[in-house]
Structure 1
Amino acid sequence: MATDKLSDVALRSIKPRDKQFKLSDGGGLFLLVNPQGSRLWRLAYRFGGRQKALALGSYPATSLSDAREARRKAKGLLEAGTDPGQEKKKRKAAVRAAEEAAENTFAAVAEKYLAKAEKEGRAAVTIGKARWLLNDLAAGLADKLVHEIAPKDVLAVLRPIEARGNYETARRMRSTIGLVLRFAVANGWAERDATADLKGALRAPNVRHRAAIVKPEPLGVLMRAIYSWEGGQPTTVAALKLMALLALRPGEVRGARWDEIDFEKRTWTVPLERMKMRRVHATPLPDQAIAILKELRPLTVRGEGSLIFPSTTSSKVPISENTTTLAMRRLGFGPHQMTSHGFRAAFATLANESGKWSVDSIERQLAHVEGNAVRRAYARGQYWDERVVMMQWWADYLDQLREQAKYTPRQDKRKAMRR
């Protein structure tokens, strides 16, 4: 049987034996049957005076007809003076190189970097912006291998953005591309970060500070307008009030959940995934903030972990980042006068000017990170006791400014537009 041609019927009926054995199909093609049951196609041939064997797959994944076709192709290579075994190794190496190349394109490495950032707890907004910069704006780098990316390649995707006058976007894009390339270097996929040679190559953006009302009288007018707004959504009005009272970032307020509030300890703890600096931040709640939250709670609680400020369309989605900004526009305060972020500037300015509070307490309330590494290592205290007193003072001070405001809401709007 060993010299007979094989058939599908015969192959299907093969049983393993105690020892390995072969079934020949002729022309050097045979089936190797192992005691464990595996059935492997092999082709015996000679090349360069040496006896060799070429693996052609396993049965039944590789059928009898497939094995015979592989034998035919191998014989053709032998007639042309080519070793089919070496040719197979070359094809495997080419496939492997192509797979490695696909894994080391900028697009693939960028996805790996973003996945790492997500595991490290980076905020969803931060990840979303980075993905937009890398996938959409840097699409010209997508198919390039990270170890082949040169400064001119990076500059080629930055120049069109710069030409449109989006200088800050271009600079952020260069920085984000650099993060991906340094990630590639750290993992051995690239030799260097090409963006390092582009310092000074892009036009510096004009620094524009967020508009903010930092004078007591107009701030009182704004607070009166907010507290007198009868037509606003309760969640929007409450969000504006709490931004003013607590000096938190707008995004930290928008995404707040009820399980972050401890009414007994009078504390709001923002988790690190929603903090810009990726550090847990706790803020003391003054009486006014407690009252606002208690009034709002029956309106928005939808179970454990539910949002404090859900949108009007879904209780699972917070109000948008434009909600509070548009609210101030409706109250008559234009984009060059006040932004949602401006409440932080108002607090920082007036709290510092009061001379009542240490700079450290104000900075901790703003969740700023100390720039000096040595000072940061030793200044770990949260100045909590001072912050509790300071935030109650700030809330009382805002009430005082609001009560002293001289204008009705309609008059406030006209006055605000002239400031």
Structure 2
Amino acid sequence: MARPAKQLTDKTIRDAIKGVGKRHFPLYDGHGLHLIERAGRHHWRLKYTRPDGRENRLALGAFPEVSLAEARILAFDARMKLRQGIDPAAARKADKIATRAVNDRRFGKLAGEWLDLKTPGWSPITSRKNRRAVEAYLVPRLGSLDVAAIGTSNVLPIIREVNAHSPEFARAAAGAAQNIVRFAIAEGKREEGRLLDLDLRHNLPGRQRGHNPAATTPAALTRVLNVIRGLDNPVMRAALMLCCYTAQRPANVVQMRWEQIDVKEKEWAIPDHEMKVKTGEPHIVPLPRQVMRLVEAIRPLTGGRGFVFPPLAQQRTPHLHRDSLSKALRAAGLRGVQTPHGLRATLRTMARERLGVHADVLEAQLAHGKKDEIQAAYDHARFVQERHKVMQRWADYLDGLN
């Protein structure tokens, strides 16, 4: 039974703390509520009898952070639970467990775990795209929500907003959201079978797929080359000309490093982990004489160390940013005419039609994936020596267009 006591006042407590009052710790307020002193700190406790008859004490916080009035309210709430046959200490523990479980199911937490799981198997390009889609678009809006309760109606408005300015990232964000939910199901954080049904085909405006504007006639390509050759910035000009001469993905071009260039063999070895299509081996890119001269001309800018193409002013990346290549072409009047990525289609079309190069050789140069699993398993032809000849012919052909 709680010890009978005269109710406390703020003055009584302050006097006891100073050691000048008539009452000493522990200070009892009645009905089991009391204030104790421990290591110079003062803490509220509630002495009570559990529903099973055992005595217990419930911590109600520290004084003065929890005032006398607040401590009485907390004690009253605890006694109300006891009247309902509920042990307040056990209820608090259950609440903490439930809160911890909800925190473990937060979308933001699971999104981070999914990224950590998947990143080692992604190329740097894929990793950056997915991280941006998750961290810039999904987590700010969904991060604090319970993944068990998230539905299509929570995600689709975000995807539509992103789609208004970046259709590419809208689809990346949608794919990431769906995969994070699948991951949550696999981890037991969401009910089996409750996938997101974003149905982008019917819930987003239609888009033209797989089209990167590209010059595919001598006249059109001559115009593109003249524009690139006339760019003022030597780094931008060199990077875009390398795209023309090698037809490699812009993301790979801007990440080109000096140590990847074999000057003697006139080859560029792109590490497998940087490639979109992984083969387990570096992608070998023959470098025509024109490319060797081009990179040597800008070597003084970096001292021949690190990235071949240094970043422009105000860029935060350690190398020239991929998007700056597209921006340069648009600014030079080639919007809707040519993109850096479209230079791959230019090679694929014009080298086939104008130079008669075999399609398999061009596919090897472009590092496209094999069309089916059988080809991927058994066809490892890379046509390196043949591509040396072909790419030199291609570079000479480009130089002849003016």
TM-score under structure 2 length normalisation: 0.72
Counterpart CA distance in 1 for 2:300 and 2:314 is 18
1:352 aligns with 2:330: no
CA-based RMSD of the aligned residues comes to: 4.5
The equivalent of 2:309 in structure 1 is 308
The equivalent of 1:298 in structure 2 is 300
Q: Tell me the SS of whatever aligns to 1:268.
A: strand
The equivalent of 2:319 in structure 1 is 318
The equivalent of 2:111 in structure 1 is 110
Counterpart CA distance in 2 for 1:113 and 1:325 is 31
Counterpart CA distance in 1 for 2:52 and 2:87 is 15
For residues 49 and 208 of structure 1, do their structure 2 counterparts lie closer, same or farther at Cα, with a shift above 3 Å needed? Answer: closer
1:366 aligns with 2:348: no
Structure 2, unaligned runs of 5 or more: 1-15, 18-25, 37-44
The equivalent of 1:186 in structure 2 is 186
Q: Cα distance, 1:326 vs. partner?
A: 4.7
Is contact 1:300–1:310 with CA below 8 Å preserved after alignment?
no
Q: Tell me whether 210-219 or 75-84 shows the greater mean CA deviation.
A: 75-84
Identity of aligned residues (%): 26
Q: Cα distance, 1:165 vs. partner?
A: 8.6
Counterpart CA distance in 1 for 2:250 and 2:52 is 79
Is contact 1:167–1:204 with CA below 8 Å preserved after alignment?
no
Q: Tell me whether 333-342 or 312-321 shows the greater mean CA deviation.
A: 312-321
Residues 267-311 of structure 1 show CA distances to partners (whole Å, capped at 9, x for unaligned) of 21223454334664331212221222222212322x742443432
Q: Cα distance, 1:349 vs. partner?
A: 0.6
Counterpart CA distance in 2 for 1:291 and 1:112 is 46
For residues 119 and 223 of structure 1, do their structure 2 counterparts lie closer, same or farther at Cα, with a shift above 3 Å needed? Answer: same
Q: Cα distance, 1:328 vs. partner?
A: 3.9
Structure 1, unaligned runs of 5 or more: 1-6, 9-23, 32-41, 406-419
The equivalent of 2:196 in structure 1 is 195
Q: 1:211 aligns with which of 210, 213, 229?
A: 213
The equivalent of 1:136 in structure 2 is 137
Q: Cα distance, 1:212 vs. partner?
A: 1.0
Q: Tell me the SS of whatever aligns to 1:201.
A: helix
1:245 aligns with 2:251: no
Q: Cα distance, 1:347 vs. partner?
A: 0.5
The equivalent of 1:92 in structure 2 is 93
Is contact 2:258–2:306 with CA below 8 Å preserved after alignment?
yes
The total of aligned residue pairs comes to 371
Is contact 1:74–1:84 with CA below 8 Å preserved after alignment?
no
Q: Tell me the SS of whatever aligns to 1:146.
A: coil
Q: Tell me the SS of whatever aligns to 1:282.
A: strand
Counterpart CA distance in 1 for 2:77 and 2:236 is 77
Q: Tell me the SS of whatever aligns to 1:213.
A: coil
For residues 165 and 77 of structure 1, do their structure 2 counterparts lie closer, same or farther at Cα, with a shift above 3 Å needed? Answer: closer
The equivalent of 1:375 in structure 2 is 375
Q: Tell me the SS of whatever aligns to 2:268.
A: strand
Counterpart CA distance in 1 for 2:141 and 2:158 is 6
Q: Cα distance, 1:245 vs. partner?
A: 0.6
For residues 153 and 385 of structure 1, do their structure 2 counterparts lie closer, same or farther at Cα, with a shift above 3 Å needed? Answer: same
